[in-house]
Amino acid sequence: MTTGTPSGNLPSNLPGNLSSDPSSDPSGSLPGASARRLARGLVLASHAAPAAVVTGLAAALAAALGSGWLVVTLVTVAVGTGQLSVGWSNDWIDARRDTAVGRTDKPVVAGLVTARTLRGAAFAALAACVVASLALGLVPGLAHLVAVGGAWAYNARLKSTMWSWAPYAVSFGLLAVFVVLAAPGPRVPAVWAVAAAALLGSGAHVANTLPDLEDDAATGVRGLPHRLGRRASGVLAPSLLVAAVAVVVAGPAGAPGPAAWIGGAIAVGLALAAGVMALARPRSRAPFGLSMCVAVVCVVLLALAAAETAVLP
């Protein structure tokens, strides 16, 4: 799920009065700002690319499991609004930290949108997520809301602890549970499918954190990748992704077919490329992008094995 890093022990003289009001914007108010400028800030703060990938993969898996257009639409709305709430809450919560380290690539620091606006947008998206999730049934709805809640907990606190990987593992695993339980029929997700999703989430977390290790350290953030160090985390990220690929390929009963072998080889190659890039170019965002590509390939393989991804209890 979309993420950033939380504020740690920040100095009290931050620009924009962020030290006294966490909900304020570092650039102050934006009188006369155009709707286009505000829209750009909201899009950037939503972490649009990974949010779109996660939403698209959930919708694709729902369709592959035989869900009708209404269920696929509700899954898309639920996951999409959940992702928006996570992205916007991340940049709202991290506003002071981003200002402290001069993250001018962040829309709040750049003055495109206020942290207060992001807070309101995050809660509005969360409300829409609650409605769409529960419209698919109480059990699948609660599973998805726990996943979204885990991502919010990551943004608010857990990313700065040794348990920073846990929200990713739990939320990605529960996303698979949500999509399967929302599909027609009395089916439940196969254990191997949930495990693969959790491994993908954990690998994505480590890859996503690597470019910001120094900035995070400057504000007291010490998640698991920070504690392990760049080199160890650069090895851990592709290892988790390769493990996820292995589970997806070997999980279904019977010998893997040609599509599974080919898809698995492609995914492993992407995972290894992510590891090499993480060590060779420490500030690059490419490892996280490559981890999303691994997730795409794995979801394609899950869709091809839909009959075994969702099984009778």
CA torsion through residues 98, 146, 295, 166, sign: positive
DSSP helix/strand/coil, 187: coil
Higher pLDDT, 21 or 31: 31
Task: Determine the average pLDDT of the residues in 137-159.
Answer: 96
From the list 94, 110, 115, the residue with the least C-alpha distance to 5 is 94
Cβ atoms 210, 224 nearer than 8 A:
no
Q: 0.75 cut: is pTM over it? A: yes
pLDDT at 12: 38
pLDDT bin (cut points 50, 70, 90) of residue 272 is: very high
From the list 18, 194, 203, the residue with the least C-alpha distance to 114 is 18
Q: Distance between CA 123 and CA 48 in Å, rounded?
A: 17
pLDDT tens figures, 47-70: 999 999 999 999 999 999 999 999
Q: Mind listing the domains of the chain with CATH numbers?
A: 34-311 (1.10.600)
Burial class (CB in 10 A: 0-12, 13-18, 19+), 45: buried
pLDDT bin (cut points 50, 70, 90) of residue 2 is: low
Q: Distance between CA 2 and CA 197 in Å, rounded?
A: 15
DSSP helix/strand/coil, 282: coil
For the cut 60, the answer to whether the pLDDT of residue 22 exceeds it is no
pLDDT tens figures, 196-246: 999 999 999 999 999 888 877 777 788 999 999 989 999 999 999 999 999
